[in-house]
Structure 1
Amino acid sequence: MTNHALRPVDALFTSGVRENPVPVYRALHAGGPVHRLNDEWVVVCGYAEADEVLRSPVFQVKDSAFRERTRPGWIAAHPSAAMIGDSVIRARAPHHERVRRLLSRPLTSRRVAGLREAALGHTRRLLDGLAERAAGGGPVDFVDGFAYPLPIALICELLGVPAGDRGWFRDRATDLSYVLEPAGRERDLSRADAAASGLMEYFAGLVGERRARPEQDLISSLVQVSDADAGAGADANADADGARLGERELVVNLVLMLAAGFETTASLLANGLGVLLDRPADRDRIARDPAAAAACVQEVLRHDPPAQVTDRWATEDTALGGMRIAEGTQVLVLLGAANRDPRRFSDPDVFDPGRPAGPSLSFGAGPHFCLGSALARMEAEVAFHELFARFPAMALAGTPSRTDRLALRGYASLPVTLG
């Protein structure tokens, strides 16, 4: 239960609010777009203010240098924090622009276009599997049977992870994501550290294999822009300005692409179904019209996004939402709350796929806008269209269970009958 004696900004970090943060978001909006948590932190819930933080060069991501300055020894003690700190999501300019450009380079239009057919094939195979499990009319868990396996299959196919290894990744990538929680618990950080070490070792080995025997996959393409093999002909594989990916850069970002490529998309699928189970008219439109699927995915991203929180820090004295922000202040950006700002969205708590198109902040904004946003949207659009065309009478079959996290919001289980 939520402790209603707490300030809304403090209540964010309680278990009851992690289960359902929307009432706290509503209370925060009533008190203004920016709230002071303590002397070191402010919390941003307003859409315009969150967008400003994500775009302004005054507010920067917390790279490893910042973490070492504010929490000496923490990076060295936690391999998961070191891995995330060295990845593109924690990189600052100009390093960030170089790494992002190199990671984006192999994602050609032809490769991305081919992913839609792959998504369709994997979706239909998984729907066949759900039908087999539910042949006796009993319930199936949508999370285990579909929401996780689909993005795992697709991101592993894109990267070039062998099919036999794919089942190994789910728990490890989920454990790794705990390092992103704003108030990480020590037991969760221990799990994240073990996952980071195992994933780094796996991808270092796979990079070595692809360097020796390239294939038609993303890892092989990214190996070509790594500086680890700077032998004959390597200059032809460098970026136009000679920039390369270092070996550690390559491995940490492969781990990140794997984890981000399915953890958030799995939650997008489950969160979307959680809303749409109570909306038969929307399900019918999605089954008939792929364009309706796109509109519903857009509204799911606004209404119940997988990524609820990110953070930045102020590199100089500034002002935000009428509040003075001192240099060094850490800023917790509530993406989920910004997406429900009544100053930006009318009736923000109402799920309305027909509302006028407008960008949510679910994939961020500015230089760190999510590289995989188009892939996640495409997967969800294909999945929902096929899902409701195949099982129009799908219904909830028990009590769903939410994950006990604030930064990444999703379901641990979502039991359904297929009808």
Structure 2
Amino acid sequence: MGVSISLDDLLGDEVRRDPYPFYARLHERGEAVGLRPGDPHAVVVHGYEAAHRVLRDPVFRVLDAEYLDRGGVRWRDHPVIRTLQASMFNVAEHDHTRVRQLFSQVLTARRVAALEPAILRIADGLLDGLAEAGADGRPVDFMAAFALPLPSDVVGELLGVPERDRAWFPSRVRAFDAVLEIGPRSFREIRAANTAAVELTGYFTELLAARRADPREDFVSALARVRDESPDRLTEAELLANLIIMYNAGFRTTANLLGNGLALLVERPDARAALRADPSLASSYVEEILRYEPPVHFAVRFAAEDTEIAGLPVAAGQSVLVLTGAANRDPRRFPDPDTFDPSRTDNRHLAFSAGPHYCLGAALGRAEGRLVLPRLLDRFPALTLATDPGERRQLMLRGYDKLLVRLTEPVPAQP
């Protein structure tokens, strides 16, 4: 396999700020390219068809504990990595199927639909707070005031996290999630992530104990009941790890969907006006936001046996980097892929992955975007960005740290 690119190309500042020109250059090279021998992965997969195949092909597997052990067992010293490896993100396929089936039985379409009144109630309360904070044209941080607390409260409602506790989570979730980003992490980041993992595990341990003593109609109570009635089907470590991952993923990705989506619509007055005029278009808008500016840009898989992808050999044990964010801009799959077009009729993007690891919370994230975006635009028809939205430098959980907006025109100072 000839050398094509270096992973350093992807990790550079220019690409982190705006990866799409880099993705376009990759598409000119086909569906996949090789990496240099010293890079941690053998191949970068960026074409839609190739990425879709890798994500669905049982030969390509997640980096489970057995895989990590091949490079040594020191990862087991880190609570954050142990938590990730015990979750559905990274458990071996037979365990993944077992655990996912249990969680799917609880996170049903009916349960998501039943949450819709709560989503609207939470959104309206936060919109009131946003209006108060942004009165008289004062700049307000949309991410802090709305985009982060809304999905945090929604997933809190789903799981059964008391409202008084929800403000405790964001800083710990952000620290935990830092280890998911591609590239090396600093000692400070790893230490903070480990601390967050310990604290989150402690919180959900106490919440499980409370729900076992006093069951309610929530997700934690339902899973505690499954665990206690069939302990061979779900270990306590798996239950805790997946509650943490569900909470984390359940609000960080949706927060970025809302922030990325709002920035796109503010920059495109015609698209924004069309959605305000016809809120029934919201579902197609959400899909195009997810395709055009997905919150997650990559996944990693390893080959369980010698294979190939797009004509490039991948030896057993080698890993591949799947750039789903690039696949969503593949001109072979999406006509005019760098144009934001909510009217696309065939928009089967990979923002929620594909195959056995398709996002378990996809229906909930879609529901939040579909319900909330039209409500936000209707409440604040004059909303504008108060400043440039700033840089986004992550490829995993890609979104704005802050998004300052004005809800109305500033009130001139009195002479």
- TM-score interval w.r.t. the shorter chain? over 0.9
Kindly tell me the number of residue pairs found equivalent between the two proteins: 401
Q: Are the counterparts in 1 of residues 6 and 35 from structure 2 also a CA contact under 8 Å?
A: no
How far apart in 2 are the matches of 1:411 and 1:48? 29
Residue number in structure 2 paired with 1:27: 25
Aligned to 1:395: 384
Q: Which moved more, 1:312-321 or 1:90-99?
A: 90-99
For residues 7 and 91 of structure 2, the distance between their equivalents in structure 1, rounded to whole angstroms, comes to 28
Runs of 4+ in 1 over 4 A off after TM superposition: 6-9
**RMSD of the alignment, in Å?**
1.6
Q: Secondary structure at the match of 1:319?
A: strand
Identify the residue that residue 107 of structure 1 maps to in structure 2: 107
- Aligned to 1:324, the other structure's residue is in SS state strand
Taking structure 1 as the reference length, what is the TM-score of the superposition?
0.92
Q: Which whole-Å CA distance do the structure 2 matches of 1:157 and 1:366 have between them?
A: 28
Shift of 1:291: 2.4
Q: CA deviation at 1:292?
A: 1.1
| Residues 272-322 of structure 1, C-alpha deviations (whole Å, 9 max, x = no match) | 111111122222222232321111110000000001111000111111111
Contact 1:8–1:28 under 8 Å retained in 2: no
Judged with a 3 Å threshold, the aligned counterparts in structure 2 of structure 1 residues 198 and 184 are, in CA distance, closer, same or farther, namely: farther
**Are the aligned partners of 1:9 and 1:28 in contact in 2 as well (CA < 8 Å)?**
no
Alignment-derived partner of residue 183 in structure 2: 183
Residue 375, structure 1, aligned to residue 373, structure 2? no
C-alpha deviation, 1:243, in angstroms = 5.3
C-alpha distance in 2 between matches for 1:408 and 1:109: 25
* Alpha-carbon separation, structure 2, partners of 1:298 and 1:184: 32
Indicate the SS of the match to 2:371: helix
- Indicate if the aligned counterparts of 1:339 and 1:361 stay in contact, CA closer than 8 A: yes
Give per-residue Cα distances to partners, 1:184-222, cap 9 Å, x unaligned. Answer: 312322221111111011101111111111111110000
Instruction: Give the 3-state SS of the residue equivalent to 1:43 in structure 2.
Output: strand
Match for residue 412 of structure 2?
A: none
Report the equivalent of 1:153: 153
In the alignment, residue 76 of structure 1 is paired with which amino acid? Answer: R
Contact persistence 1:302–1:361 (CA under 8 A)? yes
Aligned 1:7-406 pairs, distance under 5 A: 7=5, 9-39=7-37, 40-41=40-41, 42-70=43-71, 72-186=72-186, 187-226=188-227, 229=228, 234=229, 238=230, 244-406=233-395
Q: CA deviation at 1:75?
A: 1.7
Distance 2:239 2:391 in 1: 33
Letter in 2 for 1:26: A
Q: Percent identity?
A: 46
- State whether residues 287 and 384 of structure 1, in contact with CA within 8 Å, keep that contact through their aligned partners in structure 2: no
CA contact (8 A) 1:61 1:91 kept: yes
SS at match of 1:224: helix
SS of the residue 1:364 aligns to? coil
What is the deviation of 1:117?
Answer: 0.9
Provide, for residues 81-130 of structure 1, a one-character-per-residue CA deviation record: whole Å limited to 9, x for no partner.
Answer: 11101101112222111100111112244422121111111111111111
For structure 1, the 5+ residue unaligned runs are 1-5
Does the aligned pair in 2 maintain the 1:283–1:392 contact within 8 Å?
no
Where structure 2 has 5 or more consecutive residues not aligned to the other structure, the ranges are: 409-415
Amino acid across the alignment from 1:158: L
Kindly provide the CA deviation profile for residues 16-50 of structure 1, in whole angstroms up to 9, marking residues without a partner as x: 32121111111111122211223351111111110
Partners of 1:57 and 1:244 in 2: CA distance: 23
Contact 2:109 2:363 in 1 (8 A): no
Kindly indicate whether the alpha-carbon contact (under 8 Å) linking 1:64 and 1:75 is maintained by their aligned counterparts in 2.
Answer: no
Instruction: After TM superposition, give the deviation of residue 399 of structure 1 in Å.
Output: 2.0
CA distance in 2, matches of 1:43, 1:109: 35
Matches of 1:320 and 1:290, distance apart in 2: 42
Structure-1 residue corresponding to 2:413: none
Q: TM-score, normalised by structure 2?
A: 0.93
Partner Cα distance (1:189, 1:286) in 2: 42
Counterpart CA distance in 2 for 1:24 and 1:9 is 12
**Bigger CA drift: 181-190 or 196-205?**
181-190
Give 2:174's aligned amino acid.
Answer: T
The question of whether the paired residues in 2 share the 8 Å contact of 1:67 and 1:74 is answered with: no
Structure 2 SS opposite 1:398: coil
Cα distance in structure 2, aligned partners of 1:33 and 1:357? 20
